[in-house]
Amino acid sequence: MLTNLTNHFCKNLSGFFSAASDKFLRREETPSSPEPDRPLRRAAGLSPAPGKFLRRTETPSSPEPGRSLGQAAGLSPASGKFSRRTETPSSPEPGISLGQAAGPSPTSGEVSSPLADCLRSLLALQNRNRRTPVVLCIGTDRIIGDSLGPLVGSKLTETGLLPYVYGTLDTPVHALNLRDTLDEIKKKHPSSTVIAVDASLGSKSGIGSISVRDGGLYPGAGVSKNLCLTGDISITGITNMEDGCPLLSLQTARLSTVMQMAEQIAECILEACAS
What is the pLDDT, as a whole number, of residue 8?
60
Report CA-CA distances (Å) from 263 to 221, 232, 242: 24, 22, 23
Task: Give the residue, 88 or 221, on which the prediction is more confident.
Answer: 221
> pLDDT at residue 205 above 90?
yes
Q: Where are the beta strands (DSSP E) in 52-182?
A: 134-137, 165-166
> pLDDT at residue 246 above 80?
yes
Count of domains observed in the chain: 1
- Pair 209, 100: CB distance under 8 Å: yes
d(CA 239, CA 148): 8
Question: Does residue 46 belong to any structural domain of this protein?
Answer: no
pLDDT tens track for 3-22? 565 566 556 655 555 555 55
Question: Does residue 123 belong to any structural domain of this protein?
Answer: yes
Closest CA to 264 of 231, 246, 240, 238: 238
What is the pLDDT, as a whole number, of residue 209?
96
Q: Is 174 left (phi over 0), alpha (psi -120 to 50) or beta?
A: beta
Question: Does residue 220 belong to any structural domain of this protein?
Answer: yes
3 state SS of 227: coil
> pLDDT at residue 198 above 90?
yes
Computed over every residue of the chain, the mean pLDDT equals 74
Please list, in sequence order, all residues whose beta carbon lies within 8 angstroms of the beta carbon of residue 257, skipping any fewer than 6 positions away. Answer: 207, 208, 239, 240
pLDDT tens track for 136-154? 999 999 999 999 999 999 9
What is the pLDDT, as a whole number, of residue 162?
94
State the first-to-last Cα distance of the chain, in angstroms, to the nearest integer. 159
Burial group, residue 223, by CB count within 10 angstroms (0-12, 13-18, 19+): middle
Mean pLDDT across 193-198:
97
What is the pLDDT, as a whole number, of residue 222?
79
Q: Where are the beta strands (DSSP E) in the chain?
A: 134-137, 165-166, 194-202, 210-214, 233-241
pLDDT tier for residue 86 given thresholds of 50, 70 and 90: very low
Record the pTM: 0.60
> pLDDT at residue 93 above 90?
no
Question: Does residue 117 belong to any structural domain of this protein?
Answer: yes
Q: What percent of the chain has pLDDT over 90?
A: 51
Task: Give the residue, 185 or 3, on which the prediction is more confident.
Answer: 185
Question: Does residue 62 belong to any structural domain of this protein?
Answer: no
Residue range(s) defining the domain that contains residue 121: 111-274
Question: Does residue 55 belong to any structural domain of this protein?
Answer: no
- Pair 115, 99: CB distance under 8 Å: no
| Domain CATH code at residue 121 | 3.40.50.1450
Question: Does residue 63 belong to any structural domain of this protein?
Answer: no
Question: Does residue 32 belong to any structural domain of this protein?
Answer: no
